[in-house]
Amino acid sequence: MTLFLESVENKNVDTTKIAQSLKAHKEEQQARLAAESALRSLLTQVLNSGMNLEQVAQMMNLSTLEVRRLVGENF
Protein backbone atom coordinates (compact mmCIF):
# COMPACT_ATOMS: atom_id res chain seq x y z
CA MET A 1 0.00 0.00 0.00
CA THR A 2 2.83 2.37 0.83
CA LEU A 3 4.49 1.72 -2.51
CA PHE A 4 1.21 2.43 -4.28
CA LEU A 5 0.78 5.74 -2.47
CA GLU A 6 4.38 6.73 -3.18
CA SER A 7 3.86 5.87 -6.84
CA VAL A 8 0.68 7.93 -6.94
CA GLU A 9 2.39 10.87 -5.24
CA ASN A 10 5.23 10.70 -7.74
CA LYS A 11 2.75 11.08 -10.58
CA ASN A 12 1.38 14.33 -9.14
CA VAL A 13 -2.00 12.81 -8.33
CA ASP A 14 -3.94 14.52 -5.58
CA THR A 15 -4.32 11.77 -2.98
CA THR A 16 -6.82 13.91 -1.07
CA LYS A 17 -9.15 13.89 -4.07
CA ILE A 18 -8.74 10.14 -4.40
CA ALA A 19 -9.57 9.66 -0.72
CA GLN A 20 -12.62 11.93 -1.05
CA SER A 21 -13.77 10.03 -4.11
CA LEU A 22 -13.40 6.69 -2.34
CA LYS A 23 -15.31 8.03 0.67
CA ALA A 24 -18.10 9.34 -1.57
CA HIS A 25 -18.30 5.98 -3.35
CA LYS A 26 -18.56 4.15 -0.03
CA GLU A 27 -21.29 6.52 1.18
CA GLU A 28 -23.23 6.05 -2.07
CA GLN A 29 -22.95 2.29 -1.74
CA GLN A 30 -24.18 2.44 1.87
CA ALA A 31 -27.12 4.62 0.79
CA ARG A 32 -28.04 2.16 -1.98
CA LEU A 33 -27.91 -0.75 0.45
CA ALA A 34 -30.08 1.14 2.97
CA ALA A 35 -32.62 2.01 0.26
CA GLU A 36 -32.72 -1.60 -0.92
CA SER A 37 -33.21 -2.79 2.65
CA ALA A 38 -36.10 -0.34 3.16
CA LEU A 39 -37.68 -1.46 -0.12
CA ARG A 40 -37.27 -5.11 0.88
CA SER A 41 -39.00 -4.42 4.19
CA LEU A 42 -41.86 -2.57 2.49
CA LEU A 43 -42.36 -5.31 -0.10
CA THR A 44 -42.41 -7.97 2.60
CA GLN A 45 -45.02 -6.05 4.60
CA VAL A 46 -47.24 -5.58 1.54
CA LEU A 47 -46.93 -9.24 0.58
CA ASN A 48 -47.76 -10.27 4.15
CA SER A 49 -50.89 -8.08 4.01
CA GLY A 50 -52.37 -10.35 1.36
CA MET A 51 -51.37 -8.92 -2.00
CA ASN A 52 -49.79 -11.40 -4.37
CA LEU A 53 -46.38 -11.04 -5.97
CA GLU A 54 -47.72 -9.89 -9.34
CA GLN A 55 -49.93 -7.20 -7.74
CA VAL A 56 -47.03 -5.87 -5.69
CA ALA A 57 -44.71 -5.86 -8.70
CA GLN A 58 -47.26 -3.94 -10.77
CA MET A 59 -47.98 -1.47 -7.95
CA MET A 60 -44.26 -0.78 -7.44
CA ASN A 61 -43.49 -0.74 -11.19
CA LEU A 62 -41.04 -3.62 -10.77
CA SER A 63 -40.77 -6.96 -12.50
CA THR A 64 -41.87 -10.03 -10.60
CA LEU A 65 -38.28 -11.27 -10.84
CA GLU A 66 -37.02 -8.10 -9.14
CA VAL A 67 -39.57 -8.46 -6.35
CA ARG A 68 -38.57 -12.11 -5.89
CA ARG A 69 -34.90 -11.12 -5.80
CA LEU A 70 -35.61 -8.55 -3.10
CA VAL A 71 -37.84 -10.65 -0.85
CA GLY A 72 -36.51 -14.11 -1.56
CA GLU A 73 -38.31 -17.18 -2.80
CA ASN A 74 -40.69 -17.42 0.18
CA PHE A 75 -43.49 -15.52 -1.56
Taking the CA atoms of 55, 58, 64 and 68 in sequence, report the sign of the dihedral they define. Answer: negative
Task: State the pLDDT at residue 14.
Answer: 80
- pLDDT tens digits, residue range 59-71? 999 999 999 999 9
Task: State the pLDDT at residue 11.
Answer: 63
What band does 1 get if pLDDT is binned at 50, 70 and 90?
Answer: low
- pLDDT tens digits, residue range 5-59? 566 555 666 888 888 999 999 999 999 999 999 999 999 999 999 999 999 999 9
